[in-house]
Amino acid sequence: MLTLSPPLPPSQPPLKLPPNKQSRGPTPLDLPEKSFETRKIGPELTLRHPRRSERSLSVWCSVIICFVFSIFLICFGVATLVVYLAIRPRYPTFDIAAASLNNIYLDPSEYFNGDIILLANFSNPNRKIEMVFEYLDIRLYFSNRFIGTQGIQPFSLKQGQRRMETLHLVSSLVYMPRDLGVLLQKQVESNKVSYYVLGTFKVRASLGLIRFSLWLHGRCQLYMTGPPTGILVGRSCKMKR
């Protein structure tokens, strides 16, 4: 008797995966951990990460530079303080030692005419600093009205030295408001006339090879008796920058 075996199923072709699902190589997550120094962004661009040793060197260099700069600032400040305490620089002084009021009159009642002589005193109170007065300008005021001026030739003052300068200020036909004219006449009648003297000075100070210049302003308020033999009976002077 002939026996027939059941028919075999037809053979099937191997299963093909889509291109995006085909088997790939190991991903970075599957690789063992290790440090990378470079990374490719594209076919030609590559980023290089600084090594840890290079970063440490730059940090230490910055720390050392900051430390040296701080030490320099501290030493400079201490040296400046020591020099200041050793020298104790002071401004020169300006004063009116004497004055003579020769004449005052108003003509015709609104124009001031006057004649006054001042003896200005300049002194250098410093023991180690020499000073040179390069520019000197003296102005005379009655109340807030300017009535006369005179310049002084430059001169120098050594340590602890003084110098006297005579100023002859003559005012002629200087306009003066009526209220100030009335005030001046009252002061003359009361035998007590008040003036202001303002000085502007450019001073150069020298300490060895160190030299510096500064502008100073002196102000003196004078109280004098009436003319023609007016003398100085009181004053108040100060010097400032």
pLDDT tens for the chain, residues 1 to 241:
444 445 555 555 555 555 554 545 555 445 454 444 455 555 555 555 555 666 677 788 888 889 898 998 898 888 777 766 667 788 999 999 999 999 998 877 788 999 999 999 999 999 889 999 999 999 999 988 999 999 999 999 999 999 999 999 999 989 988 889 889 999 999 999 999 999 999 999 988 788 889 999 999 999 999 998 999 999 999 999 8
pLDDT at position 35: 45
Q: Which of 134, 139, 122 is nearest to 199 (CA)?
A: 139
User: What three-state secondary structure class fits 116?
Assistant: strand
Q: What are phi and psi of 199, to 5 degrees?
A: -120, 140
Give this prediction's pTM: 0.66
pLDDT of residue 13: 53
> What's the confidence (pLDDT) of residue 54?
62
Class of domain 93-240: mainly beta
**pLDDT score of 127:** 87
Where do the domains of the chain lie? Answer: 55-87, 93-240
Tens-place pLDDT, residues 99-117: 999 999 887 778 899 999 9
Q: 224 near 99, Cβ under 8 Å?
A: yes
Q: How far apart are CA 143 and CA 49, in angstroms?
A: 78
| Cis check: omega of the bond before 26, within 30 degrees of 0 | no
Tally Cβ neighbours within 10 Å of residue 201: 22
Instruction: Measure Cα distances from 13 to 10, 16, 74, 86 in Å.
Output: 10, 9, 87, 105
Q: Report the C-alpha gap between 206 and 93 in whole angstroms.
A: 17
pLDDT digits (tens, 9 = 90+) for 117-130: 999 999 999 988 99
* DSSP one-letter code for 66: H
Q: Dihedral, CA atoms, 128, 130, 136, 138, nearest 10 degrees?
A: 30
Structure tokens at 113: 């005419």
51-59 long-range contacts (CB < 8 A, ≥24 apart) are: none
